[in-house]
């Protein structure tokens, strides 16, 4: 997959993604808009946003197989959209907002002036005879267009659809041919497939990677110490070389321990366990015998991460990260800026958004759910990260694991702020 990364390419994607998020919201999702009032309210907002920066209007393209062009005009007049030289009646909008900008798109479904429901017999097909195979045939757009002298625009006699993306969104990255995009839009237009099916096809790069992740998981179950023998394991390790190191400093975290008696542990007892004195069992990011320091952003998260539900109190202490430490950020992201490279972004997406590193434990005696996270931690340590920050599976907050707390403690980069205390929940 050869994906360009020059600044202009990235800027077209950032511009389109920012535009649709300002109108449709920032949370990754897909949804359909069928209400005419809602459609034209949203189109008017989109038009206003486009007109705010007309110089970047050509950053956005519409695609319909071999009929593709940048946006030159986008205005709403009554219940019509004036798009370039067209005057069209939009009957439905489908929006896909993805954390990764190349997968953002809007599909417009258009009513025909003669018919609102498409019939293959009303279109002039380039190849073949009836019945039409929509998987390998496109129709001639010119056959369903007509020029309206009164409005000086083209209209469509038959229903039509097209996809709107950034100029360097997915249709322009040579992953699909123009014909392939056209074939799938035909299937959608004639209701051979639905929007969900189209979206799964459109993002199949991620779908294939998800299969690779599952295969990598199976590989680690059988060969836990041979992750780098797998292609995805090699990609994850290589991806961390170009990954952004999050510099964490002047930030407080909390650590909880289950009480042995109703009084808090002393300060030494609230640090990571001494592996030469006690058994250190495997955690999400540490192997058996590796003593890492796990903390949480707030007290309730620290409590829920380590204390059984039937306990109401624990020993709690507050830590401070005083000086900058290099952290691998595995928190969920609503929108990737692409500054860190698309290869790493896609890896991060699969590890985080697909839940690969945050699966709940199903059996406390066997924890295969920790295999991929522990491999990730090994790669991070080999590339000089000091720890990992990641979403909690217990709350909406996040956790931090430090790989070598003794080293940071000696350098005064991390310290206990106050004496340990009893923390209780209602």
Are both 162 and 246 inside the same structural domain?
no
Q: What is the pTM of this model?
A: 0.84
Kindly report, residue by residue over 142-192, the tens digit of the pLDDT.
889 998 877 778 999 999 999 999 998 888 888 888 889 999 999 999 999
User: From CA 227, how far away is CA 218, in angstroms rounded?
Assistant: 11
Residue 42, Cβ neighbours under 10 Å: how many?
A: 20
Residues 272 and 404 reside in one and the same domain: yes
Residue 56: per-residue pLDDT: 92
What is the SS3 string spanning 268-324? HHHCCCCCCCCCCCCCCCCCCCCCCEEEECCHHHHHHHHCCCCCCEEEEEEEEECCC
Give kind and range of the element (H or E) at residue 109. Answer: strand 105-111
- Rounded mean pLDDT of 314-339? 90
Percentage of residues of the chain with pLDDT beyond 70: 98
What confidence score (pLDDT) does residue 4 get? 47
306 occurs within a structural domain: yes
CA quadruple 343, 344, 346, 351: dihedral sign: positive
Residue 251 counted as domain residue: yes
* Domains held by the chain: number: 2
Does a cis peptide bond (omega within 30 degrees of 0) precede residue 131? yes
pLDDT of 361 strictly over 60 = yes
Question: Among the residues of 190-249, which ranges form H helices?
Answer: 195-202, 204-222, 231-239
**125 & 267 share domain:** no
Same domain, 32 and 161: yes
What integer pLDDT is reported at residue 88 of this predicted model?
Answer: 94
User: 426 or 306: which carries more pLDDT confidence?
Assistant: 306
- Tell me: do 165 and 111 sit in the same domain: yes
Asked if residue 304 lies in contact with residue 402, where contact means CB atoms within 8 angstroms, the answer is no
Residue 319 near residue 253 (C-beta atoms within 8 A):
yes
- 403 occurs within a structural domain: yes
Give a yes or no: residue 225 inside a domain.
Answer: no
- Cα separation of 334 and 99, whole Å? 5
If one compares 298 and 174, the residue with the highest pLDDT of the two is 298
Residue 48 forms part of a structural domain: yes
Same domain membership, residue 320 and residue 258:
yes
Question: Tens digits of per-residue pLDDT, 15-53?
Answer: 999 999 999 988 899 999 999 999 999 999 999 999 898
What is the residue whose two structure tokens read 């366990």?
273
Q: Residue 262 belongs to what domain range?
A: 239-424
Instruction: Tell me the average pLDDT across 393-415.
Output: 95
Last residue of a domain, one of 147, 180, 202: 202
Same domain for 354 and 414, yes or no, is yes
Residue 128 banded pLDDT, cuts 50, 70, 90: low
pLDDT of 410 over the 80 cut: yes
Is 268 found in the same domain as 143? no
Q: For strand 29-33 and strand 67-70, is the pairing parallel, antiparallel, or unpaired?
A: unpaired
- Quick check: is 412 in a domain? yes
Q: Check whether residue 197 and residue 249 sit in a common domain.
A: no
Comparing 13-22, 59-68, 106-115, 301-310, which segment has the lowest mean pLDDT? 59-68
pLDDT at residue 129 greater than cutoff 90: no
Q: Is the pLDDT of residue 91 over 80?
A: yes
- For residue 5, the model assigns a pLDDT of 53
User: In this structure, what token pair is assigned to residue 306?
Assistant: 């380590």
User: Which pLDDT score, from 0 to 100, does residue 308 have?
Assistant: 85
Please check the confidence at residue 267 and state whether its pLDDT lies above 90. yes
- End residue of a domain, out of 150, 173, 202: 202
The verdict on 413 and 320 lying in the same domain is yes
Whether residue 163 sits in one domain with residue 264:
no
Domain identity same for 297 and 359: yes
- Residue 80 predicted with pLDDT over 90: yes
Three-class DSSP labels, 127-183: CCCCCCCCCCCCECHHHHEEEECCCCEEEECCCEEEEEEECCCHHHCCCCCHHHHHH
Helix axes 342-352, 204-222, angle to 10 degrees: 60
Last residue of a domain, one of 176, 202, 228: 202
Does the residue 230 lie in any domain?
A: no
* 232 is a domain residue: no
């Amino acid at each position: 997959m050869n994906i360009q990364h020059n600044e202009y390419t990235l800027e077209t994607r950032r511009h389109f993604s920012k535009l649709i998020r300002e109108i449709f919201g920032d949370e990754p999702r897909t949804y359909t808009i069928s209400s005419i009032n809602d459609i034209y309210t949203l189109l008017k907002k989109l038009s206003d946003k486009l007109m705010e920066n007309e110089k970047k209007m050509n950053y956005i393209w519409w695609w319909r197989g071999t009929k593709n062009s940048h946006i030159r005009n986008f205005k709403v007049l009554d219940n019509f959209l004036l798009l370039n030289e067209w005057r069209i009646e939009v009957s439905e909008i489908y929006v896909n907002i993805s954390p990764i900008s190349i997968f953002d798109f809007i599909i417009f479904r258009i009513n025909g002036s003669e018919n609102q429901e498409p019939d293959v017999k009303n279109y002039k097909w380039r190849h073949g005879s009836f019945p039409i195979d929509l998987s390998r045939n496109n129709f001639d757009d010119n056959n369903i267009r007509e020029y309206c002298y009164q409005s000086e625009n083209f209209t469509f006699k038959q229903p039509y659809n097209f996809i709107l993306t950034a100029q360097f969104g997915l249709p322009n990255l040579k992953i699909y041919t123009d014909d392939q995009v056209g074939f799938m839009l035909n299937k959608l237009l004639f209701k051979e497939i639905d929007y969900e099916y189209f979206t799964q096809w459109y993002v199949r790069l991620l779908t294939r990677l998800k299969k690779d992740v599952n295969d990598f998981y199976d590989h680690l179950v059988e060969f836990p110490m041979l992750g780098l023998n797998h292609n995805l394991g090699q990609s994850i390790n290589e991806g961390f070389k170009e990954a952004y190191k999050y510099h964490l400093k002047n930030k407080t975290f909390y650590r909880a321990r289950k009480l042995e008696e109703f009084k808090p542990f002393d300060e030494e007892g609230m640090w990571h366990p001494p592996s030469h004195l006690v058994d250190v069992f495997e955690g999400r990011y540490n192997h058996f015998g590796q003593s890492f320091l796990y903390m949480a952003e707030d007290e309730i998260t620290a409590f829920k991460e380590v204390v059984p539900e039937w306990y109401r109190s624990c020993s709690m202490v507050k830590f401070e990260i005083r000086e900058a430490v290099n952290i691998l950020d595995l928190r969920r992201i609503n929108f990737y800026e692409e500054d860190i490279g698309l290869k790493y972004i896609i890896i991060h997406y699969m590890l985080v958004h697909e839940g690969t590193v945050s699966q709940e434990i199903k059996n406390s005696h066997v924890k295969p759910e920790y295999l991929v996270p522990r491999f990730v931690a090994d790669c991070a340590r080999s590339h000089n990260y000091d720890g990992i920050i990641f979403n909690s599976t217990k709350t909406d907050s996040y956790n931090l694991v430090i790989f070598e707390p003794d080293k940071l403690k000696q350098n005064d980069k991390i310290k206990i702020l106050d004496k340990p205390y009893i923390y209780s929940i209602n």
